[in-house]
Chain A
């Protein structure tokens, strides 16, 4: 499985855009980039995923570099409820089951 590297923590002011980087330099051509977040004592919540094109949904935008070695998750107008640990994951494939392996993630704190 391709590994990812994320900063351990970030701070962002409420109402501003939060930009969370992720490096995945060993990603292979058929692997997607997934983003999840985990609010304290809850299960992870799916945010967005992409292969090579930029993606946007009601929660966030995902920008993937042309060489696919890194990506950025953008929360356009961060709120206090966006405080969570954000995980960038590259989907691995083994024996036909596509497991999600979590790294350490980025602990994002939104400050009032």
Chain B
């Protein structure tokens, strides 16, 4: 299957700082990427849909000014958690959709811990 690489896999940051997470589709072009958040023992929660060259579409209840998404190229989307707080600690996962087929492939996830 197609490969989606997410970086970093783990990050610890201090409260009030910002953290950037990268999501790359390595062997295909992805016009659409998705960002999810997952708390312990819960399912994945869709945060936003990112389309190359346009603004992201956020799900209800997700603060767009706090979770900045940039999808500047067909192989890269970034999620920046701004002014992070301990309650933002979570497992963040990106996925990239294979154009024309519809299936999405997922990155390995980023474990964010805010202290």
Contacts and interface: CB of A to CB of B under 8 A. Distances in A.
Interface of A: 32, 34, 36, 38, 41-46, 49, 87, 91, 95, 97-105
Interface in B88-115: 91, 93, 95, 97, 102-109, 111
Interface residues of B, number: 26
Interface of B: 1, 4, 6, 32, 34, 36, 43-46, 49, 51, 57, 91, 93, 95, 97, 102-109, 111
Contacts of B103: 34, 46, 49
B43 A91 contact: no
A99 B34 contact: yes
14 contacts: A41-B91, A42-B109, A43-B95, A43-B107, A43-B109, A44-B93, A46-B103, A46-B104, A49-B102, A97-B49, A97-B51, A100-B34, A100-B46, A101-B46
Contacts, number: 56
Which residue, of A45, A95, A99, has the highest number of chain B Cβ atoms within 10 A?
A99
Which residue, of B104, B105, B108, B109, has the highest number of chain A Cβ atoms within 10 A?
B104
Contacts of A34: 103
B49 A42 contact: no
B57 A95 contact: yes
Nearest to B104: A100
Contact of B102 (A32, A45, A87, A102): A32
B27 to A, nearest CB: 14
